[in-house]
Structure 1
């Protein structure tokens, strides 16, 4: 009987290796969350969205399921962002992190507009009114001209401040076996219906 063993590739290690002969540092030891609960975070937008959507109720609830509209992101001048977008044109999709600048206030529970009229915990929905008005959208990148990024399939209002942009990585960002929690109970995921899992 052969005792050949199947050769497996070496396990990929993505973390950084600690330096030899140097004790690991504990950078978090001086940060106690309880003492910093009221910490304020200041952010400066890096650009602005130019979109045909000018009214909140006209924005798609899930842009990837609706008629994909084109828009552009104009990055701010004077920050060397022309260099920052180098190599981004090879990606078909990007994550856009933005500030929902017209939102005011939030509630801990919301009633989604589709499915059973049941109140859901805000953090189990995609309702736009949140403790911090941060938006996150995966959009198709169709072109780059200097500081202008052309996108398609989005849900951002005209004038939306952009906080950051990151490439969408299918191997890291897509989870085909992910569950959809209470949304699966509505049956809308199988139908491919655009459901606003918020208010």
Structure 2
């Protein structure tokens, strides 16, 4: 079997795993897909602008080499109940492959890095390698009557997000609503519920400090994130 080739990498506002939406499409997170040098051929994208959404097949790069087990503990079940790995979307699998549906906003063909795909709804860390891109086909990919297994029994909720004015001013206007969407989904692991604990999440060049109590997430501080040279290098590869 031929070795899989990385065709592109996606660049998002997430420098680390913590805080990334648990599924694609849950927040209007922006992503920019840059192709590897051998795949920077605009002809490969001919006709792609006719689709509103795309499937991305990618690698859980942070899980590579960390092993896997037949059963896992899904965070949304509190981390206490085991389910079969193939009944979950855990990154720790025999082949650490992810699948995400994103909205295609724009195709950029010009510039030194062209072609570039601009997407929203990505649930990936910046620098994540992409193996393939396929069009989303509504007439076969959308199945309204499909069953959701145990995932459909998990109570979904949204936190009330409060961002004081002094913190709000530190957030770029273009990122304010997206950050609210991300925070409202409760980035914490389900088994953590300490109202006194301060959490930190990196997003879009910011370090967001917050606490959660009684269904309300309060942003305590916004700082400019320190640049991680190793992460920057990873994103350029």
Greater helix proportion: 2
- Aligned partner of 2:106 in structure 1 is 143
Count of aligned pairs: 154
- The alpha-carbon deviation at position 194 of structure 1 amounts to 5.7
Matching residue within 160, 175, 178 for 2:128: 160
1:95-121 Cα deviation digits (max 9, x unpaired): 001112121222211111223631111
1:17-44 Cα deviation digits (max 9, x unpaired): xxxxxxxxxxxxxxxxxxxxxxx55111
TM-score, normalised to structure 1's length?
0.70
Unmatched 5+ residue regions in structure 2? 110-114, 158-183, 192-237
1:34-183 superposed matches below 5 A = 41-65=2-26, 67-79=27-39, 81-103=41-63, 104-115=66-77, 117-146=80-109, 147-183=115-151
Greater strand proportion: 2
Is 1:108–1:122's contact at 8 Å kept on the other side of the alignment?
A: yes
Is 1:95–1:168's contact at 8 Å kept on the other side of the alignment?
A: yes
Is 1:73–1:149's contact at 8 Å kept on the other side of the alignment?
A: yes
Q: CA RMSD in A?
A: 2.4
**Relative contact order (C-alpha < 8 Å, sep 6+): which is higher?**
1
Matched position secondary structure for 2:89: coil
Bigger drift between 77-86 and 104-113 goes to 77-86
TM-score, normalised to structure 2's length?
0.60
Unmatched 5+ residue regions in structure 1? 1-39
